Structure 1
Amino acid sequence: MNVPRSVIGSVFCVFFVVSYFCNKYVLSVLKFTFPTLFQGWQTFIGALLLLLSGKLGWVEISTIPRSAALAWLPGSLLFVGNIYAGSRALSRLPIPSFFTLHNASEAISAAIVKITQRERMSWMKMFSVHLLLIPAVVLPHYDPQFDLGGYLWALLHITCVGAYRVFQKKTSHLSDVEQQYINYFFSVLLLAVAAHPTGDLIAVLEFPFLMSYKFHSGCCASAAFSFFLLLTTFKLKNGLPLEQTRRWVFLAKCLASGLSPLVFSIQVTPEILCCFFCSHAGEALSVYSEGA
């Protein structure tokens, strides 16, 4: 791997870890559990920065036909479910637990493909899928910080992620940048409409950190780092084959999981550690099977 690719991958890992840590800080430490507003803010800033990036030539955004945009709307709806449920789950679960459950979305994707397309998987791929699914199923039984709501939101999150991944592969007439552009604007509109019915718009007025410097800096940092993570993800996908991109994603998840106990409180037992290890081992095997 040449130096520029290594630099892009390293920068991606940094933004990945810092982005998740900022989100976790706002959601768990500051307890800003209003996902329609939190994710609406992030997607609004992301849409503006993505539009600016297109004007500056950092990314290529061509004119999107109306028919293509309408055909992509189911993907945007899954994207909203992904980020909304993901915020709920991340606010309640430790980062290593969140990734252990998130990795199980690979099993959701495999099940959808198996049912709809009847594709046969290699034994290695099948084994890796089970190695990703089993820790996610076992984890709640041994979690000393068990939170039923967190696990239910995580279940919705991985369902949306798995279905989105399959839908994305089937819909190839839009680039990743164009897909995300539609996702952002659809999310802003949908989350803005949902802010009042969910009660977030009224409840946020009583939020104790609303006028806090920590709150404003945390929200701004989370939006900025989330966008830079997206930008480096685009660069990584465009500069590397899929299997090498997945290796960097795997490394970033391992770093975020390993470093999170240094920043956030988490109770770890031998059973929990075994779940974390098996999940990451399953992802490593899945990445290897893709490149084999």
Structure 2
Amino acid sequence: MNLARASLGLVFCIFFVVSYFTNKYVLSVLKFTYPTLFLGWQTFIGTLLIWVTAKLGWVEINGFPRSVAVSWLPGSVLFLGNIYAGSKALSILPIPFFFVLQNVSEVVFFFIVRLTLRERSSWMKIFSVNLTLISAVTLILYKPEFGPNGYMWAIIHLFCVGSYRVFQRNSKSSQLSDIEQQFINYIVSMLLLASAAHPTGDLFGALEFPFLMSYKFHSGGFASAVFGFFLLLASVNLKTGLSLTHCAIWFFMAKILASALSMFVFSMELSSVSLLCILTNHAGEALSINSDRIQIK
């Protein structure tokens, strides 16, 4: 049983790292900064793969009322904001910095839940939230060269991630499985991104992209969509097979692994202060997971 759980976690970590590295490669190395097309392609492939695997019986999509799907639309809009702002931020920020700011979504989640549901929190949770926030703010102040665009998009991303978690927790669409929620997210995002490709200028800008006819671009774009789908399946299996605490631990380990390996794969300057911010931020994340574990007990 422990071996099976460890296998689930390792598979998730592998797809997590590969998915982020592929996206970073297309966005930063190839410099394909046209998110409506890049994300439209990803969500199209994601929609297609979910539909095909459902037809083959590999994943389960049950029939659900239209009203349930409509009630999930705010979550789909938050999901689109999450991936759009996230791709813009990831194209500018190094992966370790990106995760430092993404972790602040836990602060957003904490304050929204605390204000709306009046839930009490332990001193460890409050301390971890402050540690995460302070380390992220310090990093922004110490490394201003990635702003305002990089940090602005990262802040939008973290607000969407935190708000999405709150919506997912409080949503009345309990009839939807994680796969069904993601299927709706992909369809809504694909349609909105397709309609925005021309007004944003991404459609014409992409036609002048120097790597448009390159096998590196096409293979990278295709791989990012496929790896994103496998990451989805791995995360769903992880949530199904493990407790919330163990899932959070594997997510934490995946981010640590991706941050560490990215320093060897992608060029970046890492000073002692920025390294301290990264370590402090992840320490706050670890404390947050531990406080949630204690609260569950």
TM-score tier by shorter-chain length is over 0.9
**Residue 3 (structure 1) aligns with:** 3
Residue type of the alignment partner of 1:93: L
Task: Select between 142-151 and 215-224 the one with higher mean Cα deviation.
Answer: 142-151
Structure 1 residue runs without a partner (length 5+): none
| Superposition map of 1:20-59 within 5 A | 20-59=20-59
Residue in 1 that maps onto 2:77: 77
Q: Which position in structure 2 is the counterpart of 1:122?
A: 122
Q: Which deviates further from its counterpart, 31-40 or 53-62? A: 53-62
RMSD, aligned CA: 1.0
Structure 2 CA distance for aligned equivalents of residues 147 and 117 of structure 1: 34
Distance 2:277 2:56 in 1: 44
Residue 214 of structure 2 corresponds to residue 212 of structure 1:
yes
Q: What is the one-letter code of the residue matched to 1:15? A: F
Conserved? CA contact 1:64–1:178, under 8 Å = no
- Mapped to 2, the partners of 1:37 and 1:60 lie a distance apart of 28
After the TM superposition, which of the residue ranges 266-275 and 135-144 deviates more from structure 2? 135-144
Q: Is the 8 A contact 2:61 2:180 kept in 1?
A: yes
Q: 2:88 maps to what in 1?
A: 88
The amino acid of 2:82's aligned partner reads N
Residue in 2 that maps onto 1:271:
273
Question: Would you say the 8 A contact 1:144–1:267 is kept in 2?
Answer: no
Question: Which 10-residue stretch deviates more, 149-158 or 165-174?
Answer: 165-174
Alignment gaps of 5+ in structure 2: none
What is the CA–CA distance in structure 1 between the aligned matches of 2:260 and 2:120, rounded to whole Å?
34
Could you tell me the TM-score, scaled by structure 2's length?
A: 0.96
After superposition, give the CA deviation of every residue in 1:60-111 in whole Å (9 maximum; x if it has no partner): 1101210000000000000000000000000000000000000000000111
Q: TM-score, normalised by structure 1?
A: 0.98
C-alpha distance in 2 between matches for 1:283 and 1:35: 29
Instruction: Determine the C-alpha separation between the residues in 2 that align with 1:207 and 1:237.
Output: 39
One of 258, 265, 273 as aligned partner of 1:256: 258
Task: Give 1:41 shift.
Answer: 0.5
* Cα distance in 1, alignment partners of residues 58 and 282 from structure 2: 33
Alignment size in residue pairs: 292
Q: 1:146 Cα deviation (Å)?
A: 2.6
Matches within 5 A, 1:228-247: 228-247=230-249
Which residue is 1:150 aligned to? Answer: 150
Q: Secondary structure in 2 aligned to 1:136? A: helix
What displacement does 1:144 show? 6.6
> Aligned residue for 2:98?
98
Runs of 4+ more than 6 Å apart: none
Question: 1:107 is matched with which residue?
Answer: 107
User: Which residue number corresponds to residue 167 of structure 2?
Assistant: 167
Percent identity reads: 63
Q: For residues 67 and 165 of structure 2, what CA distance do their matches in structure 1 show?
A: 21
Question: Greater CA deviation, 255-264 or 47-56?
Answer: 47-56
Q: d(CA) in 2 for partners of 1:280 and 1:168?
A: 24
Give the equivalent residue in structure 2 for 1:65: 65
